[in-house]
Amino acid sequence: MLRWLVPLVLSVLAIAQVPSSVAVPTTAPPAAGDVPLGKAELAVDAGPVRLQVFTYRPANWSGQRLLFVMHGVLRNADEYRDHAIGMANRFDALVVAPKFDSERFPGRLYQRGGILREDGSAAPPAEWTYARIPELAAAVRARTGKPEAQLFVIGHSAGGQFVVRMSAFQDTGAVRLVAANPGSVLLPTTDVPFGYGFGGLPPELANDARLQRYLAAPLTLYLGTGDDRDDEWFDKSKDAMAQGTGRHQRGLCLYWTARTLAAARGWPFGWRLVEAPGVEHDHEAMFAHAMCEVALFGDAAAKPDAAKPEGAKPEATKKSDGAKPDGKPAEPAGGAH
């Protein structure tokens, strides 16, 4: 369907090379509700699944924001929580880092969300791992007594893959979904197999209506410009390498392919492209970078009342040092990440 578009985008992208610590209480008395102040580890039921969840609740949390943090292939949710404490304090957010262990959630069920069963047949939406996210949000809102808390989700590496693909299939109710440095991306085409595109999926999961919803999703591609080479976890499969030789390149490929398709079809486009100059494949550095605020909240100040309300018209705003397809300055599944 779009065989000409991806090579075109890849051939004209200009890849720019650009050659905080917080005191954290380790123990704290419980706050109101059932999520303690400071750092905590909880067992939370998300639908039919009990998840190990690592949280951080700022002392003066207003109750207006939940920030879900999706770990990478190492399944180190506790470290992701620790490294998100700065975001919690800067953005007045309750950090929730669920652990999707590799025993119950291998790559097919984590990075690819369980859309397909092991035999290749389509799973019903209630089985999707992506469905656990709105269920977990509901559980946390109930525990804290904050039913109106807005949800934001950020994932890095394999967690970024999770977020990208989730944005295509699951209505999470999130104000913004941020995919940071995903190892492979979901191109809006049926010309490549699922995981890298929509090929091989049932019609209801790969038709134009689905692609249109995907491109209208409140998705941010948050890319470190130094994440432009492979490593031991890098997906080197044929379909992944067709997207680019680094995670930065692959993210740019996805953004401009999607934006070009939306413009050609006259579809709404809700994505942002935000870059962290010089940052390599490092979730801690991505979370601490000043551009993380833009990735989550756009150009508005990072205050709860400045977040765009759910249901507002999607934006195509961005902060980027990438290049447009015209060359002007811009505005794997499994074990890979």
270 against 13, higher pLDDT: 270
Q: Token pair of 49, please?
A: 């699944």
pLDDT of residue 300: 58
pLDDT of residue 317: 36
Give 138-153 pLDDT, tens digit per residue. Answer: 999 999 999 999 999 9
pLDDT tier for residue 94 given thresholds of 50, 70 and 90: very high
Model pTM? 0.83
pLDDT at 320 over 50: no
Contact status, residue 287 vs residue 86, Cβ threshold 8 Å: yes
Q: Is the dihedral of CA 170, 172, 175, 179 positive or negative?
A: negative
Pairing of strands 38-46, 65-70: unpaired
Give 218-228 pLDDT, tens digit per residue. Answer: 999 999 999 99
Least confident of 58-62, 194-198, 207-211, 228-232: 228-232
pLDDT of residue 309: 36
Give 41-56 pLDDT, tens digit per residue. Answer: 999 999 999 999 999 9
Whole-number Å distance between alpha carbons of 282 and 318: 21
Mean pLDDT confidence for 141-170 = 98
What values do phi and psi take at 275, rounded to 5?
-120, 145
Closest CA relative to residue 202, chosen from 176, 240, 156, 169 = 169
- Please measure the distance between the N-terminal and C-terminal CA atoms of the chain and give it in whole angstroms: 27
pLDDT tier for residue 232 given thresholds of 50, 70 and 90: confident
What's the distance, CA 245 to chain centroid? 20
Least confident of 4-18, 26-40, 80-94, 194-208: 4-18
Whole-number Å distance between alpha carbons of 136 and 153: 12
pLDDT at 66 over 60: yes
pLDDT of residue 250: 97
Give 13-26 pLDDT, tens digit per residue. Answer: 543 333 333 344 44
Mean pLDDT confidence for 246-275 = 98
pLDDT of residue 20: 36
Contact status, residue 310 vs residue 152, Cβ threshold 8 Å: no
Give the whole-number percent of the chain exceeding pLDDT 70.
Answer: 79
Looking at domain 5-306, its CATH architecture is: 3-Layer(aba) Sandwich (3.40)
Whole-number Å distance between alpha carbons of 30 and 24: 15
pLDDT of residue 11: 52
Whole-number Å distance between alpha carbons of 85 and 65: 14
